[in-house]
Amino acid sequence: MSLLSLSGVTASYGPTQVLFGVDLTLREGEVLALMGRNGMGKTTTVRVITRLLAHRDGEVRFAGADLAGKPPYRAAQMGLGLVPEGRRCFRGLTVGENLLVAARPGEWDMARVTALLPRLGERFGQDAASLSGGEQQMLAIGRALMTNPRLLILDEATEGLAPVLRQEIWTAIAGLRQETRLAILVIDKTLDELRRIADNAVILERGRTVWSGAFSGLTPELTDRYLGV
Amino acid sequence: MIAERWLNAALYLALLAVPLAAWALDEPFVITLATKIAILAIAGVGLNLALGLGGLVSLGHAAFFGIGGYAMGILASHAQSYTPLMQSPFLIEGTKSMPVIWLVAIVVSAAAALVIGALSLRTTGVYFIMVTLAFGQMLFFFAISWPAYGGEDGLSIYVRNGFPGLNTLDPIQFFAIAFVILSLVLILVSRLSRSAFGLALDGARQNVARAETVGINPFRVRLVAFTISGAITGLAGALFADLNRFVSPSMFSWQTSGEIMIFVILGGVARLYGPLAGAMLFILLEHFLGGISEFWHIYLGLVLLGVVLFARGGLIGTLSRAAAPHD
């Protein structure tokens, strides 16, 4: 049974339509890569899934429930954990407080999150705004895990980071993949890293799903056609 | 620069030491000034929970201050005239017991804040300011047109309400009551601001969408904060009415809301002891400049302008140089 499904989803920013028919399905425990060039609707799709943007047509279902009309906090409470683009932490709060603010009952607690992301443990009492970009990104991942999600959505989690930090984050994501059955929807441009963790992939082109299937089925022709610059 | 916690401690101890010294020197007027500072600081701490931590710019907190004041005035006036407040369907009599009056003031102002908050928190920005202002003004005009409790002239209470074991007519003992309540309110707000609830409120102030994506319902946390804030301000109103033994519609006026906000801004928005520093400065300016000129508000305006333009952290922020989220 699918955990998340989008069928024929359309969405607009004001009068500008951005999504013209997105279809995707993600099962429990699956890692799905959402791919496409810049501006093809990946982040908008994430905003629709997390209810930060209401879709116009089509259907978005999560854990068997229709998400239409539900506010973002309700989607988060249902188990949608978002690591947003751009490392957005709560300024003025410490690392520990940033984690505490998101805490919901479940298997992910402070100890487990800081075990997965040791840098957060080292910086626990430090103001989140004073962290480096990579550390803030780890904090965003930790904060999403503290909500005890059924589905973790990583939107460009390693974008703009130094290679060492990027590697550290991918190792943490791979660790998540191995240790838990947490479903993950990941958006990223690094094919090699996605290949390590993703089971399936969906490619968007101009706001439409143009290809979906097993990640191993991504041929060089497909990547050249839909992901090349 | 002074660490903020030392500055807070100095302010707190000064508020305690000055009336004690005045008591030793037999200067009851100074004790009354200190009591007024403590009570107004309580109102400011209440507003600061909504304004500083929650980012809710309420220009209607006088509504709760007035409700607290009228809770005291109505209950005490019925007690002094030996007439019941209500006879049917059940009997409610007046009271001169401070704890009972405080409880009523807290419950009624919290209920009013819950209703006003539930309606006004559906708006944001300037609309929120206007809706809260409108509620305050509605209650102001209601009090003016309520002849049973003095209407425009207000209501005088000829006795000081009682507290078990204390002589509340003794200025230093009444100060002790206000000081202890201020201390308890400071502890409560300090605990709240670092609790999961306070962090959620801060998060919702910083970025609603970000807060929602971690499962925080911004409306709910803001409504709870607004209700607690209103209850604290209502308690301050009851104490203020007891200090003056008088309540009037002016407690509901937008000028009162503005003055409570001025305490917060002068002392430092989102700083726990900011309202205490602001209330101290306000009362000192009122006392000293008011003695020189009846237009002392002009100087207050200049001070406020200076703080807003050059000292965004208020007195506490400027002296401690510690950054706060609102600076």
For B206-220, what is each residue's pLDDT tens digit? Answer: 999 999 999 999 999
Which of A48, A52, A67, A73 to mutate: most B Cβ within 10 Å? A73
* DSSP string covering B234-245: HHHHHHHHHHHT
Provide the percentage of residues in chain B whose pLDDT is more than 70.
Answer: 98
**Long-range contacts for B192-198 (Cβ within 8 Å, ≥24 apart)?**
B192/B49, B192/B228, B193/B49, B193/B53, B193/B272, B194/A97, B196/A100, B196/A101, B196/A103, B197/B221, B197/B224, B197/B225, B198/B53
Tell me what the mean pLDDT of segment B75-93 comes to.
91
Chain B: give the shortest CA distance to residue A226, in Å: 30
Residue with tokens 């989690």: A157
Going from N- to C-terminal start, the domains of chain A cover 2-227
Per-range mean pLDDT, top range of A132-146, B15-29, B75-89: B15-29
Residue A157 confidence (pLDDT): 84
CB contact under 8 A, B212 and A76: yes
- What is the distance, to the nearest Å, from the Cα of residue B160 to the centroid of all Cα atoms in its chain? 20
Would you call A92 an interface residue with chain B, using a CB distance cutoff of 8 Å? yes
Would you call B216 an interface residue with chain A, using a CB distance cutoff of 8 Å? yes
Of B196, B209, B324, which is closest to A52 when you measure between CB atoms? B209
Chain B: give the shortest CA distance to residue A187, in Å: 17
Please give the helix or strand (H or E) that residue B133 lies within, else none.
helix B125-144
Confidence band of B1 (pLDDT split at 50, 70, 90): low
Joined tokens for residue B237:
């109103």
Joined tokens for residue B78:
């019925």
Mean pLDDT of chain B: 94
Nearest CA in chain A to B325: A92
CB contact under 8 A, B217 and A50: no
Which of the four CATH numbers 3.40.50, 2.60.40, 1.10.30, 1.10.3470 does domain B4-320 have? 1.10.3470
Confidence band of B327 (pLDDT split at 50, 70, 90): low
User: B125-144 and B254-267 helices cross at what angle (nearest 10)?
Assistant: 130
Chain A residues touching B194 at Cβ < 8 A: 97
Residue A178 confidence (pLDDT): 83
CB contact under 8 A, A91 and B325: yes
Per CATH, the number for A2-227 is 3.40.50.300
Residue with tokens 């359309």: A10
Confidence band of B88 (pLDDT split at 50, 70, 90): confident
Residue A85 confidence (pLDDT): 81
Q: Is the pLDDT of residue B322 over 70?
A: no
Q: Is the pLDDT of residue B72 over 60?
A: yes
Would you call A37 an interface residue with chain B, using a CB distance cutoff of 8 Å? no
Provide the percentage of residues in chain B whose pLDDT is more than 90.
Answer: 84
* pLDDT tens, residue by residue, B124-170: 999 999 999 999 999 999 999 999 998 999 999 988 899 999 999 99
What is the pTM assigned to this prediction?
Answer: 0.91
CB contact under 8 A, A73 and B206: no
Half-sphere exposure of B18 (CA within 13 A, CB side): 19
Chain B residues touching A77 at Cβ < 8 A: 215
Please give the helix or strand (H or E) that residue B247 lies within, else none.
strand B246-247
Residue B251 confidence (pLDDT): 96
Digitized pLDDT (tens) for each residue of chain A, 229 residues in all: 799 999 999 999 999 999 999 999 999 999 999 999 999 999 999 999 999 999 999 999 999 999 999 999 999 999 999 998 876 789 889 999 999 999 999 999 999 999 999 999 999 999 999 998 888 989 999 999 999 999 999 998 888 788 888 888 888 888 888 888 899 999 998 888 899 899 999 999 999 999 999 999 999 898 988 887 5
Residue A158 confidence (pLDDT): 83
Q: Is the pLDDT of residue B36 over 80?
A: yes
Nearest CA in chain A to B327: A92
CB contact under 8 A, A90 and B203: yes
Chain B: give the shortest CA distance to residue A164, in Å: 27
Confidence band of B324 (pLDDT split at 50, 70, 90): low
Q: Cβ distance A125 to A94 under 8 Å? A: yes
Q: How many CB pairs under 8 A join A and B?
A: 62
Chain B residues touching A94 at Cβ < 8 A: none
Of A91, A97, A102, which is closest to B214 when you measure between CB atoms? A102
* pLDDT tens, residue by residue, B221-252: 999 999 999 999 999 999 999 999 999 999 99
Dihedral of the CA atoms A182, A186, A192, A198 (nearest 10)? 40
Q: Is the pLDDT of residue B2 over 80?
A: no
Q: Is the pLDDT of residue B178 over 60?
A: yes
Going from N- to C-terminal start, the domains of chain B cover 4-320
User: B62-81 and B98-120 helices cross at what angle (nearest 10)?
Assistant: 150
Would you call B93 an interface residue with chain A, using a CB distance cutoff of 8 Å? no
Chain B residues touching A144 at Cβ < 8 A: 214
Question: Position B60: which residue type?
Answer: G
Q: pLDDT higher for B143 or B89?
A: B143
| Distance of alpha carbon B247 from alpha carbon B241, whole angstroms | 6
Joined tokens for residue A36:
């496409």
Residue B145 confidence (pLDDT): 94
CB contact under 8 A, B199 and A77: no
Of B196, B199, B214, which is closest to A76 when you measure between CB atoms? B214
CB contact under 8 A, A77 and B215: yes
Q: Is the dihedral of CA B203, B206, B208, B211 positive or negative?
A: negative
- What is the distance, to the nearest Å, from the Cα of residue B315 to the centroid of all Cα atoms in its chain? 19
